[in-house]
Amino acid sequence: MLLIIVSILLFIFYSVFILFYWKSWLSVPVFSAASFTPLTFLSVIIPARNEEENIGALLKALEQQTYPKELFEIIVIDDHSSDNTTSIVNKFKNVRLLQLQDDATNSYKKKAVEKGIAEGRGQLIVATDADCIPPAEWLLNIAACYEQTNAVFIAAPVMLKNDQSVLQIFQTLDFIVLQGITAASAHKQVHSMCNGANLAYERSAFYAVNGFAGIDQIASGDDMLLMHKISKEFPGRTIYLKTEEAIVSTQPMITWKSFFNQRIRWASKATVYDDKTVMLVLLIVYFFNLSFLVLLIAGWWNHFFWLTALLLLIGKTAIEFPFVYSVAKFYKKEKLMKSFILFQPLHIAYTIIAGWLGQFSTYEWKGRKVK
């Protein structure tokens, strides 16, 4: 009986969170850069390691930006690539290529970003990843948001490309959920969430919080952990840029192994948050999902626990569906919602596994084993 009570309480808390995120997502205003005359000089920072298959497409997309060419620079920081990444970058005349030196560090990406910022001239740093593709109005909307608001940190939307494979559809739906929560939490200033594939921040704000100092011991966190540092120093000055014209698309993981490595990497930064609201949400979400496993095991002794798990699964699906659908509609991914119910058991299993391994395991990323 105690197990059932605890599971129901976790479901109630979980439902409150989802309803809050849904309402908050709907309240995020859609931004428009109409009649905007840009003034801000931007530095686009791109860390890259073995990205020969992707970097060329990104740099071509940056050449097609509508933002005035004299008001932005592109800096690629090569992180010890062993493929043709650097030779491809060198074909683009207006791109600066920097080389990351050998450093004994657990987070090469943070070192690359730091180097790019130090060498750049932009008042506003715009960060993306080498496997991303931004729309033509991307920089224009980021600069407009910066100049028309009081923001020092801008989180912006990211979308996964997907085909019809089970893995990529599952990833896209999972990513849609994360993007909805990111927008809701950033808009309501309840906790710090963003994605390093699409964000911007003032150079001065980066140095005001001493950059990545204090969070450089962990491999990930060049986005959310930095956002949290800046939001503490500049309360109320983080913003979410909600517009289709700023959606950056990125590549999904192509194997289940790479997918889990990515999610384990994301989960690995959980214990270094000093944002208590994030930790509370993460713990409740994790233990709610874990309760399904416990109920399934307990069901071998009493089948009533299986019925409880089934009812909670139905409740979880029902409470999540409107929220996820509203975010999917923004990204024009509504058709994927027909798979949403079928993926529920897989999503629960992956949450349990990735959350656990993120704290107690190493993982491989970009050809390196890190923690």
Residue 364 has pLDDT above 60, yes or no: no
Q: Six-digit token pair at 250?
A: 């990125």
In terms of average pLDDT, the best of 41-45, 89-93, 269-273, 305-309 is 41-45
pLDDT at 191: 80
Residue with the bigger pLDDT between 224 and 44: it is 44
Model pLDDT, residue 247 = 96
pLDDT at residue number 35: 82
How far apart CA 218 and CA 273 sit, in angstroms, is 11
Q: How would you class 295 by CB atoms within 10 Å of its CB: exposed for 0-12, middle for 13-18, buried for 19 or more? A: buried
Residue 21 has pLDDT above 60, yes or no: yes
* pLDDT for residue 358: 66
Q: DSSP assignment of 355-371, as one string?
A: HHHHHH--EEETTEEE-
Domain ranges in the chain are 2-24+275-370, 29-252
Average pLDDT in the 157-175 region? 88
Q: What is the pLDDT of residues 230-287, one digit of tens each?
A: 999 999 999 999 999 999 999 888 888 888 777 777 666 555 666 667 778 888 888 9
Summarize pLDDT for 323-357 with one digit per residue, the tens: 999 999 999 999 999 989 889 988 898 888 877 77
**Average pLDDT of the segment spanning 34-49:** 92
Q: What is the pLDDT of residue 256?
A: 82
DSSP secondary structure string for all residues of 116-158: HHHH---SEEEE--TTEE--TTHHHHHHHHHHHS--SEEE--E
CB 177 within 8 A of CB 71: no
Distances in whole angstroms, Cα of residue 228 to Cα of each of 188, 231, 273, 348: 14, 5, 8, 27
Q: Is the pLDDT of residue 20 over 60?
A: yes
Helix (H) or strand (E) holding 162: none
pLDDT score, position 11: 94
- Bridge partner list, 75: 45, 96
Instruction: Considering only residues 271 and 206, tell me which one the structure prediction assigns the higher pLDDT.
Output: 206
Q: How many CA atoms lie within 13 A of 102 on its CB side?
A: 0
Sign of the C-alpha dihedral, residues 292, 294, 297, 299? Answer: negative
- Residue 277 has a CB neighbour count (10 Å cut-off) of 12
Determine the pLDDT at residue 148: 93
**Is residue 371 scored above 70 in pLDDT?**
no
Tell me, what's the pLDDT at 58? 96
Residue 163 has pLDDT above 90, yes or no: no
Position with higher pLDDT, 131 vs 359: 131
The closest alpha carbon to 6, from 270, 308, 362, 357, belongs to 308
- Alpha-carbon distance of 211 to 230, in angstroms, equals 9
pLDDT of 81-134, one tens digit each? 999 999 999 999 999 999 988 665 667 888 999 999 999 999 999 999 999 999
- Among 85-89, 115-119, 188-192, 288-292, the range scoring the smallest mean pLDDT is 188-192
**Two tokens at 114?**
């730091």
| Average pLDDT score, the chain | 88
Please report which confidence band the pLDDT of residue 362 belongs to, taking 50, 70 and 90 as the band edges: low
The pLDDT score that the predictor gives to residue 366 is 55
Domain 29-252, CATH among 3.40.50.1370, 3.30.1490.100, 3.40.50.10320, 3.90.550.10: 3.90.550.10
Does residue 303 have a pLDDT over 90? no
